[in-house]
Chain A
Amino acid sequence: MISRTVHKNLSAAWREQEEVLTAASDHTLMEAVARGQTLAFEQLSFRHLRTMLGVAHRILGNAAEAEEVVQEGFLRLWRQAPQWDPDGTGSVKTWLSRVITNLCLDRCRRRRDVPLEEAGEVQDTARDAFDDLGLQDRQKLVQSLLSGLPERQRVAVVLAYFEEMSGKEIAEAMELSAGAVESLLVRARRTLRDRAETMGIVWGENI
Chain B
Amino acid sequence: MRWIGRKLTLDRVLQGWLRQQAAPVPDDAVAGAHDRLMQAVLHTPQEPALVPMPRPRRPRFLFPEPGLVPAAALSVAMLVFGVWLGPMEETALSQGGQVYAAAQVANETTGVVDQKVDQKIAVLAMASPWGDWIDEGD
Contacts and interface: CB of A to CB of B under 8 A. Distances in A.
Interface stretch (B11-19, B102-110, B126-134): B11-19
Interface string A148-172: 0000000001001110000000000
A120 interface: no
Interface string B91-110: 00000000000000000000
A65 interface: no
Q: Which of A50, A53, A63 has the most CB of B within 10 A?
A: A50
Given A38-B42, A71-B40, A82-B46, A204 B19 contact: no
Contacts of A78: 41, 44, 46
- Kindly state the interface size class of chain B when it binds its partner: 20 to 34
A67 B28 CA distance: 13
A45 interface: yes
Contacts of B49: 34, 82-83
Chain B at the A interface: mostly helix, strand, loop or mixed?
Answer: helix
Interface stretch (B30-38, B58-66, B74-82): B30-38
- Kindly state the interface size class of chain A when it binds its partner: 35 or more
A189 B22 contact: no
A80 interface: yes
B29 A161 contact: no
A63 B33 CA distance: 11
B44 A57 contact: no
A161 B46 CA distance: 34
Given A70-B33, A203-B13, A162 B22 contact: yes
A173 to B, nearest CB: 18
A57 B25 contact: yes
A53 B41 contact: no
A49 B30 CA distance: 7
A71 B37 contact: yes
Contact of A80 (B33, B34, B47): B47
B50 interface: yes
Nearest to A142: B21
Contact of B13 (A75, A143, A204): A204
A103 interface: no
Given A67-B33, A75-B41, A83 B50 contact: yes
A143 B23 contact: yes
B73 to A, nearest CB: 49
A1 interface: no
Contacts of A71: 33, 36-37, 40
Contacts of B40: 71, 75
Contacts of B70: none
Given A74-B41, A82-B48, A82-B50, 10 more contacts: A49-B30, A49-B34, A53-B25, A71-B36, A78-B41, A78-B44, A79-B47, A83-B50, A162-B22, A204-B13
15 contacts: A38-B42, A45-B37, A46-B34, A49-B30, A49-B37, A53-B33, A75-B40, A82-B46, A136-B23, A139-B22, A139-B23, A157-B18, A160-B15, A161-B14, A161-B18
